[in-house]
C-alpha cells in the first residue's frame, strides 16, 4: 500500500499561541504531504517495498532499499517518518510525568540542564535538520541530524524530536529560531514522550 498522509490527532490551532495554526496547516498539508508523494514516487519501481513501514525502510542505513533510490528514500522517507513522529509528540500544557522526569534527571543532572542541552543542539544545527532525544543502548542521548535524516537509520530510537527547518517556524518567528525553540517547550506531549521511553526499554534490548 502506498503511503498516505494521516490527519493530525488535533486541530491546526491546537498549539496556539506557541505554534500558529497557519504554520501547522502548511507544515502538514504541504510539506509532510510532499515527502509522502516523493517517497511513493521513489518506490514506484520497487512496488514490493510499499508493503514495508517507513521505519523498516530507514533501518540499518536503509539496508533493504536498492542503491538507486536510497538517496530519495533517505530524504523523503525520513521526512515522512520524522513528521509523523513530530505530530504525535505535540500537545499543549502537559506536565512531565514524575517517573520520566526522574529518568531525565539521572541522565542529565537536572531537567533544566536537559532542556538547555537539547535547545543548544536544536539551535546549533546549521541549516535544516532536527534535534533529538534518543534511546541508544542503555542510555539517553541528545543528538541532531541534518536534513531529514532519522535516528532510526543508525539504530537509535527517537523519544523526542524537534524540527528546526525554517518551514517549521519562519511564518511566526522569522529568523529567530531560539524563540521558536523556547515556545516549543510549551507544546511537548510529555505523556507520549514518556510512553515512547517505556517502549524503548523493551525494544532496545538486544
Ligand atoms: Mn518539517
Q: Are residues 79 and 154 in the same domain?
A: no
For residues 59 and 152, is the Cβ–Cβ distance under 8 A?
yes
Write the pLDDT tens digit of every residue in 22-67: 999 999 999 999 999 999 999 999 999 999 999 999 999 999 999 9
How large is the average pLDDT for residues 163-191?
A: 98
Tell me the three cell numbers of residue 91.
500537545
**pLDDT higher than 60, residue 205:** no
Write the pLDDT tens digit of every residue in 68-108: 999 999 999 999 999 999 999 999 999 999 999 999 999 99
Q: b/e per residue, 171-181, with b = 16+ CB within 10 A?
A: ebbeeebeebb
Q: What's the structural domain count of the chain?
A: 2
Residue 5 CA to ligand 1 center (angstroms) comes to 14
Residue 163 CA to ligand 1 center (angstroms) comes to 6
The β-bridge partners of 92 are none
Q: Which of 112, 83, 81, 109 is nearest to 96 (CA)?
A: 112
Residue 162 CA to ligand 1 center (angstroms) comes to 9
Q: Which of 66, 63, 70, 73 is nearest to 155 (CA)?
A: 63
Residue 193 CA to ligand 1 center (angstroms) comes to 19
**pLDDT higher than 70, residue 145:** yes
Query: Within a domain: residue 66?
Result: yes
pTM as predicted: 0.96
Residue 106 CA to ligand 1 center (angstroms) comes to 31
**pLDDT higher than 80, residue 204:** no
Domain at 137, CATH number: 3.55.40.20
Position 201 scores a pLDDT of 87
Q: Are residues 83 and 103 in the same domain?
A: no
Residue 201 CA to ligand 1 center (angstroms) comes to 27
Q: Are residues 46 and 142 in the same domain?
A: no
Query: What residues pack around ion ligand 1 (CB closer than 5 A)?
Result: 163, 165, 168
Position 206 scores a pLDDT of 43
Residue 32 CA to ligand 1 center (angstroms) comes to 7
Position 202 scores a pLDDT of 78
Alpha-carbon distances of 149 from 39, 77, 128, rounded to whole Å: 14, 9, 10
Q: Which of 184, 75, 203 is nearest to 134 (CA)?
A: 203
**pLDDT higher than 80, residue 117:** yes
Query: Within a domain: residue 149?
Result: yes
Look up the domain containing 118 and give its range.
98-204
**What percentage of the chain reaches a pLDDT higher than 90?**
96
Sign of CA dihedral 36, 4, 27, 122: negative
The β-bridge partners of 135 are 140, 157
What length does the chain have?
206
Using the 3D structure, point to which of 88, 106, 128 is the last residue of a domain.
88
For residues 138 and 119, is the Cβ–Cβ distance under 8 A?
no
Residue 46 CA to ligand 1 center (angstroms) comes to 26
Average confidence score pLDDT of the chain: 96
Amino acid at each position: 500500500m502506498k503511503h498516505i498522509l494521516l490527519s493530525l490527532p488535533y486541530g491546526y490551532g491546537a498549539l496556539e499561541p506557541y505554534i500558529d495554526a497557519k504554520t501547522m496547516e502548511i507544515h502538514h498539508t504541504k510539506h509532510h504531504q510532499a515527502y509522502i508523494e516523493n517517497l511513493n514516487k521513489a518506490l514506484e519501481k520497487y512496488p514490493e517495498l510499499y508493503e514495508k513501514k517507513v521505519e523498516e525502510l530507514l533501518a540499518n542505513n536503509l539496508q533493504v532499499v536498492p542503491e538507486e533510490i536510497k538517496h530519495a528514500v533517505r530524504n523523503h522517507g525520513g521526512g515522512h517518518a520524522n513528521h509523523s513522529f513530530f505530530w504525535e509528540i505535540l500537545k499543549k500544557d502537559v506536565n512531565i510525568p514524575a517517573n520520566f522526569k526522574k529518568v531525565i534527571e539521572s541522565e542529565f543532572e537536572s531537567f533544566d540542564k536537559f532542556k538547555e542541552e537539547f535547545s543548544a543542539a536544536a539551535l546549533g544545527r546549521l541549516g535544516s535538520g532536527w534535534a533529538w532525544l534518543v534511546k541508544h543502548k542503555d542510555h539517553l542521548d541528545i543528538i541532531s541530524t541534518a536534513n531529514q535524516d532519522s535516528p532510526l537509520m543508525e539504530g537509535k530510537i527517537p523519544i523526542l524530536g524537534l524540527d528546526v527547518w525554517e518551514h517549521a517556524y519562519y511564518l511566526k518567528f522569522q529568523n529567530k529560531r531560539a524563540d521558536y525553540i523556547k515556545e516549543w517547550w510549551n507544546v511537548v506531549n510529555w505523556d507520549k514522550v514518556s510512553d515512547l521511553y517505556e517502549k524503548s526499554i523493551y525494544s532496545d534490548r538486544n
